[in-house]
Chain A
Amino acid sequence: MDLLVGQLFTGLSTGSILLLAALGLSLTFGQMGVVNMAHGEFIMAGCYTAYVVQQVVGDAGASLLIALPAGFLVGGAMGLVLEALLIRRLYHRPLDTLLVTFGVGLILQQAARDVFGAPAVNVSVPEALRGGVDLLGVTVPRTRLFIMALAVLSVAAVALVLRFTPAGRRIRAVVGNRDLAETAGISSRAVDAGTFFIGSGLAGVAGVALTLIGSTSPTTGQSYLVDAFLVVVAGGLGRIKGAVVAAVALGALQAVFETYSTASLAKVGVFVVIVVFLQLRPQGLFTLRTRSLA
């Protein structure tokens, strides 16, 4: 029982981290079809934002509260610049966008290395998030619970924005039918920029959260990127719901594989499962047939 609960929790925890990293991607890749390989570096920028804020503020609790919105703005701003300078020019060449943004990621990584140094840095965890909570007989670290809550909150926020705000309606309109949206007077250019801002901002938030459970180095974001992309692929393009289910499922899968084999086999296991899964559902978990989102 404890083992099961423990695994369930590990799965949820891994899943929520994946989800945080993938949520922004499911907007930029899922909705816009842009493969942004620099997304990992936006996550890394979020990590360093948390680090810098803490250097300035000092108090761990206050700095976390400041770093979360700051991380969103830093990630979002980087996304806006990237969209305006490069991605906008390459919308009709998605595979080339992938390689171009990989180049951007390389540069951002090296910039981080030059500014902050290659060795990892640490952000101290607020007092309130230290230690663990007993849940159903297992001790659960508070930081992990915080990340789960943050993931849930982020998903809810994205879903609400897409569903109920004018900006969200515009995003859905452009995703549904770009030409029709244009004739209805929606500037798809502004919407693309906005979508990219939100998606990249979410990467920044994910980065801030990740400093609670690990140290930060220039390659931090890269290590999450591939898994995050797999989440979006398995979840189906354009579906936030798919990303949520896929993140939790992949998280659980990884946890189970790691329990019964080794971490190195777990990655291979997850890959095999995804290839087999794509045999059954090549379009991912949820396909965008009715053109609806969230």
Chain B
Amino acid sequence: MSTRLPGSERTPMTRFLDTRLGTWTGFAAAALVLFGLAPLVLSGFRLGLLAQFLCYAIVAVGIGLAWGRGGMLTLGQGVFFGMGAYLMAMHLKMADARFEGGPGAVPDFMELAGIRELPAYWAPFASPVFTVAAILVLPTAFAVLLGLAVFKRRVKGAYFAILSQALAGAFAILLIGQQSLGGFNGLSRFRYFFGFTLADPANQRMLYFIAAAVLLAVVAVSLQLRRSRYGELLVAVRDAEERVRFLGYDAANVKVVAYAAAALFAAVAGAVFVPIVGIISPASIGIVPSIMFLLGVAIGGRASLVGPVVGALVVAWAQTALSEQFPSAWTYAQGLLFILVIALLPGGLASAAALTKRFRTKPTPVEAAA
């Protein structure tokens, strides 16, 4: 283990945020920026970009939980992101087709591909309730099953990382092969979002607010998990999994919870991402995009709460600003960032802020009688 204690560095700032007042202050400040300041100063186009970045940040919060706190290097978050995105996209395509072609119409891309009959598995996605339920349940359930299969057999460390990466690869290839899901091109050109036309700037703004609200909610859930006894247990499992077993815990269950939460966050992010960006394709959820989700988390600080959010936003912004103008230089920069941050600053920016401060925790009051 590294001598630094990632995520446990404490500054006066983090100590303040750890109090009840501090927590509310932090959330209020974040809400003020996201709901008040950003829509005021940013143009519609830029607000749309920020909405897209917020989706990446939601994924990053989950990775911070699973990887930073739980030690599970998940290189396959694209799978869950993609599940959420495709489930939402299926509903949007169905709704568009029903809205414009009447009942029985198939989505436009199917007509182009020569698919005249709606595949049976598409039918339920006409229902918005079913779709939302599916987004919340299916990816999470899949993560639980996979997590149980893997963690119960004590597959961990690099083995787990490689398996999760293989899953991302297999999932992307599977989607490319499915003409009824748009194949290589994926699903795109959505017109309506639960009855609202996506062309209307007011509705685009609403999507931004949804993304911002989801991000705050996900951060709140993650915060509660981290501060709870479960959060301490998760760190214990990360640092000495066997020891936890010898204390009578099933360490696999502890890991599954964090892994499933990360999957749920990614799925919701994918579902919000689709109406904002207007396209989801296998290219944005395969092996490389999945591992790219980790770059922002590493830069911001994998074990910290806010670090992954900030890191993901910064990386996404840099990507947008630089990748088109300097594609080659941007790729070198990404590679270098991976090398430099992970090798030299494994705690990310969050640890840089605290490097000079002494490690301290506030004492816990004693319970009178158990």
Contact = CB atoms under 8 A, between A and B. Distances in A.
Interface of A: 29, 33, 35, 86, 89-90, 92-96, 98-100, 102-107, 109-110, 113-114, 222, 226, 229-230, 233, 262-265, 267-268, 270-271, 274-275, 278-279, 282
B177 A262 contact: yes
Interface stretch (B7-15, B267-275, B312-320, B328-336): B328-336
Identify whether the interface residues of A are mostly helix, strand, loop, or mixed.
helix
B118 interface: no
Contacts of B1: 92
Nearest to A275: B149
Given A95-B73, A233-B163, A278 B150 contact: yes
A98 B328 contact: no
A282 B162 contact: no
A104 B339 CA distance: 7
A183 B173 CA distance: 50
11 contacts: A35-B161, A93-B346, A98-B158, A102-B338, A114-B328, A222-B288, A233-B162, A271-B166, A274-B166, A275-B150, A282-B153
B335 A99 contact: no
B136 to A, nearest CB: 24
Interface string B295-338: 00010000000000000000000000000000010011011111
A264 B338 contact: no
Contacts of A103: 334-339, 342
Contact of A110 (B165, B332, B339): B332
A264 B173 contact: yes
Contact of B291 (A33, A102, A114): A102
Contacts of B332: 106-107, 110
B339 A86 contact: yes
Contacts of B167: 271
B154 A100 contact: no
A127 to B, nearest CB: 35
Contacts of B155: 278, 282
Given A233-B162, A233-B163, A264-B178, A100 B342 contact: yes
B62 interface: no
B159 interface: yes
B343 A100 contact: yes
Interface in B234-270: none
A98 B343 CA distance: 11
A93 B71 CA distance: 12
B343 A233 contact: no
B178 to A, nearest CB: 7
Nearest to B158: A35
B351 to A, nearest CB: 14
A263 B173 CA distance: 8
Contacts of B294: 99
Interface in B56-89: 71, 73
Contacts of A33: 158
Which 10 A/B pairs are nearest by Cβ-Cβ distance?
A264-B177, A103-B338, A106-B335, A107-B335, A110-B331, A282-B153, A267-B170, A103-B339, A103-B335, A271-B170
B163 A275 contact: yes
Given A86-B343, A100-B338, A103-B342, A263 B177 contact: yes
Contact of A274 (B163, B328, B335, B346): B163
A95 B343 contact: no
Contacts of A114: 328
A186 B240 CA distance: 31
Contact of B158 (A94, A265, A274, A278): A94
B49 interface: no
A282 B177 CA distance: 31
Nearest to B330: A110
Given A29-B158, A86-B343, A264-B176, A279 B165 contact: no
A229 B163 CA distance: 9
